[in-house]
Structure 1
Amino acid sequence: MSDPPVQQTSPTTAPEQRSDYEPTPVVAVISAVADAAGTDPLKLPPLSNVIDPEALNDLVDCGRNSALRSISFEYAGYDVIVSGTGDIQVA
């Protein structure tokens, strides 16, 4: 009895990560609040409970100057201010 043929596979590699990755404003807000709270971002309430995430991403343009000066809202017990260029303040 012969052994079944061995299938050759090429090793898998992790996808290349871009070093110029900039998170969306929504991801940046969640990360900043999680850092301030000292918690895992997944343990925060949904951001959509307080602001429309798509609208936030549309209003804030991290890559260039935006007509928006800033937007502020309360999230997870913190006051959040996001500038039109993507700077975030959490207090």
Structure 2
Amino acid sequence: MTDDMDRVADSDADEQGPTSNASVVRHDWTESGHPTVTLVEAVAAATDRTTTDLPSLYRSIDPDALDALVTAGPPAVTVAFQYADVAVSVTGNGTIEIRLDEGSTEERVE
């Protein structure tokens, strides 16, 4: 599980310009080799929740299919979907991006 210290060390948060109310948190899933495990931990850290507080990933996407697609597919493959009220994209090159709408998560995101 990722805690706040890991979130700061392992992710980059970018503000999206002065007119946007969203930020993007990036993680690298290649270190664990399991994109979906890293994805759930990253969303939990980005939304200041525990992994057990999140809905089942199966409600949004088939985790086995996602892992197979991004680990065996070309690096340019990108899968984007909604999970736990945030926009997520996972790429074959190892990047997980979590787009947070700061208006709805402003109490959770520092």
TM-score scaled by structure 2? 0.57
Matched, 1:70 2:85: no
Q: CA deviation at 1:71?
A: 0.6
Which structure has the larger Rg over C-alpha atoms? Answer: 1
Q: 2:38 aligns to what?
A: 28
Structure 2 SS opposite 1:38: coil
Q: 1:44 aligns to what?
A: 54
- Give the share of equivalent positions with the same residue, in percent: 35
Aligned-residue Cα RMSD (Å) equals 1.9
Q: Deviations over 1:7-64 (max 9, x none)?
A: xxxxxxxxxxxxxx61411101101110111010111000000100110110111xx8
Q: 1:48 to 1:32 in 2, by over 3 A?
A: same
Q: How many residues align?
A: 69
Matched, 1:79 2:90: no
Q: CA deviation at 1:85?
A: 2.0
Q: 1:23 to 1:41 in 2, by over 3 A?
A: farther
TM-score scaled by structure 1? 0.68
Instruction: Give the 4+ runs in structure 1 shifted more than 4 A.
Output: none
Q: 1:39 to 1:82 in 2, by over 3 A?
A: same
Q: CA deviation at 1:84?
A: 1.2
The code of the aligned residue for 1:26 comes to: T
